[in-house]
Structure 1
Amino acid sequence: MTIASLLEPITGKPGPVRLEQAEDWMQGRTLYGGASALVAFTMAMRAFPDLPPLRSAQIGFVAPVGDEIELTAEIVRQGRNVTQVRSEIRNEKGVALTAFWLFAAEREPNGQRPADPPENWPGLPDENPAAMEGKGPTFIQNNFELRYGQSKGEDHGATIRRWARLTEDHALDPVSKLVLMGDVMPPGAMRIMQRMGPISSINWSFNVLDPHSQSKDGWYLSENSSQHLDHGYSSERLRMYDAEGRQVLDGLQSVAVFG
């Protein structure tokens, strides 16, 4: 199922929406985080179609998102270069996801500093074995192809890194693709948990470094790394790189670690 089928009911007008094709994007009892974020992003884009490129976002995963939802979007402030938009997904009990989007036009640069390349470059996707074949949640099996982005069988601490691409191009614009794919990896905390147990993303904040990214063959190197794990919560750093090793997304996430 294409992501377009999931997004088709979103008109940009506030009100109830039924996501007819949600089942292929589920992660347990909720819509996969990247897909639910994309629903809220698409609502903002279709409500206000003349926005400049997305530069940053703050997303709160409040409650499970199912197929019966209500969508809202509003411009919080619109300046000469920067427009800030809030969009929300609601279920029958209240807010399920709240998102704050920062759109901004390009400016004449006053200094330049490229992002650092990834450490221990793993080689291109076709140089690495397939990962999670026949395993993982529904949304992975139905929509993504994964390959290892770090040597298999070695200790990489609290870092998970994989090459990922959508199994269908979905005709998504570059930023929508980054929103959909940016949360595809499980938290790095899974690598250092003392015992298996459920995990749940609480929020996700990210900066878009290249809103025009078109990585070769749709592959992106996705890396999640726990920066601190204690008291049942992990602070995670999320990065995405294109096939040439250029960072395109930089994010942070708080994850609840149960069990």
Structure 2
Amino acid sequence: MKFQDVMQQFAATAADERLIEVPAHWGQGRAVFGGMAAALAMAHLQSVIPAGMPLRSVSVSFVAPLNGGEAVVRRRILRQGKSVLQAQVEIEQAGQVALVALASFGASRPSQLSVSAVTAPVWTTPGICLPDSEMAPEFTRHFDYQIQQGNAPFSGGKSRTLGGAIRFRGEFSEQVGVPELLALVDAWPPVSLGLMSGPAPASSLTWTLELLPQAQTFSGSDWWSYLANIEHGADGYHHIEAKCWAPDGSLIAISRQTVTVFA
């Protein structure tokens, strides 16, 4: 099932607690792809957010594996002020909480301070396409990748960075919103996998994504730039910072992940 089709199940008039269908063919190990899980949560939440309050930050805890099939999603507005709204959303499956997210939305306000964001990297060589393989998670078949910097997963490399370009494969004439952006950013493998010389499990423990609202809209079939860096890794936990740029080169997302590595 394509990403756009999955998102069609979220109606603006839905109750705060409702049953959803977690899609098949979006697997990552023994669970659904984390970017899809987070997208399901945010798609349910964003329909009750007032216009003019874009998402500024979302923190996601992957509590338990979320699998294909039925699940319950709940949303709750924690506090709403004049400019800022704080909300919580969680997904439960088979009586177990699988995901919890805290989201902060904020309207623009007058300010004398303005600091420019860093622009997208300029790649000087053709990217290496990441081919489909039996070793790659199921969900990766929904994306096209071009690695411009760093090492492919399980290649035994030395680089602590990973970056390149990404787009949805075979879909998306519509503009990219928050759920789609969550999927695009999280679709990249953790940088840590490129340091491994063979397959080993790894999974996201927590993920925080900060968003920069954009005046222009872009399609998921356009190429989006991504660059990640391991800031520290030891004792089975790696801390990874990443940035994502829109097709016009403007910074659109800043990501931080704590990844558990079983190697």
Fold agreement, TM-score > 0.5: yes
What SS does the aligned partner of 1:19 have? strand
Q: Which residue of 2 aligns with 1:255?
A: 259
Q: Which residue of 2 aligns with 1:132?
A: 131
Matched residues in 2 for 1:240 and 1:182: separation?
7
The answer (yes or no) to whether the contact 2:151–2:195 under 8 Å persists in 1 is: no
Q: Which residue of 1 aligns with 2:231?
A: 227
Where does 1:149-188 land on structure 2 (aligned, <5 Å)?
Answer: 149-150=148-149, 157-167=159-169, 168-169=171-172, 171-188=174-191
2:200 paired with 1:201:
no
What SS does the aligned partner of 1:42 have? helix
Give, as a single letter, the amino acid of the residue that structure 1 aligns with 2:244.
Answer: M
Matched residues in 2 for 1:24 and 1:150: separation?
28
Give, as a single letter, the amino acid of the residue that structure 1 aligns with 2:177.
Answer: P
Q: Which residue of 2 aligns with 1:29?
A: 30
Note the C-alpha offset of 1:50. Answer: 4.2
Matched residues in 1 for 2:114 and 2:58: separation?
22
Note the C-alpha offset of 1:243. Answer: 3.1
What SS does the aligned partner of 1:60 have? strand
Matched residues in 1 for 2:218 and 2:10: separation?
27
Matched residues in 1 for 2:150 and 2:238: separation?
24
Q: Which residue of 1 aligns with 2:72?
A: 70
Give, as a single letter, the amino acid of the residue that structure 2 aligns with 1:225.
Answer: N
Q: Which residue of 1 aligns with 2:9?
A: 9
Note the C-alpha offset of 1:215. Answer: 4.6
The answer (yes or no) to whether the contact 2:175–2:218 under 8 Å persists in 1 is: no
Q: TM-score, normalised to structure 1's length?
A: 0.87
* CA gap 1:223/1:254 in 2 versus in 1, 3 angstroms: same
What SS does the aligned partner of 1:24 have? coil
Matched residues in 2 for 1:158 and 1:252: separation?
15
Note the C-alpha offset of 1:83. Answer: 0.7
The answer (yes or no) to whether the contact 1:159–1:191 under 8 Å persists in 2 is: no
Moved over 6 A (4+): 151-154
Matched residues in 2 for 1:91 and 1:104: separation?
30
Q: Which residue of 2 aligns with 1:147?
A: 146
* CA gap 1:242/1:156 in 2 versus in 1, 3 angstroms: farther
The answer (yes or no) to whether the contact 1:51–1:103 under 8 Å persists in 2 is: no
CA RMSD of aligned residues (A): 2.6
Paired residue total: 254
Deviations 1:160-213 (A, max 9, x none): 112100121163543332122111111111223476420010010011023445
State the identity %. 24
Deviations 1:134-163 (A, max 9, x none): 46211111x111112227799661111121
Give, as a single letter, the amino acid of the residue that structure 1 aligns with 2:233.
Answer: L
Matched residues in 1 for 2:17 and 2:151: separation?
47
Q: Which residue of 1 aligns with 2:57?
A: 56
Note the C-alpha offset of 1:123. Answer: 4.6
Where does 1:206-221 land on structure 2 (aligned, <5 Å)?
Answer: 206-212=209-215, 214-215=217-218, 218-221=222-225
* CA gap 1:156/1:172 in 2 versus in 1, 3 angstroms: farther
Give, as a single letter, the amino acid of the residue that structure 1 aligns with 2:2.
Answer: T
* CA gap 1:175/1:18 in 2 versus in 1, 3 angstroms: closer
Matched residues in 2 for 1:4 and 1:151: separation?
30
Q: Which moved more, 1:206-215 or 1:74-83?
A: 206-215
The answer (yes or no) to whether the contact 2:161–2:227 under 8 Å persists in 1 is: yes
Give, as a single letter, the amino acid of the residue that structure 1 aligns with 2:223.
Answer: W
Matched residues in 1 for 2:110 and 2:230: separation?
35
Of Structure 1 and Structure 2, the greater helix share is in: 1
Note the C-alpha offset of 1:252. Answer: 0.6
* CA gap 1:93/1:51 in 2 versus in 1, 3 angstroms: farther
Q: Which residue of 1 aligns with 2:105?
A: 103
What SS does the aligned partner of 2:47 have? helix
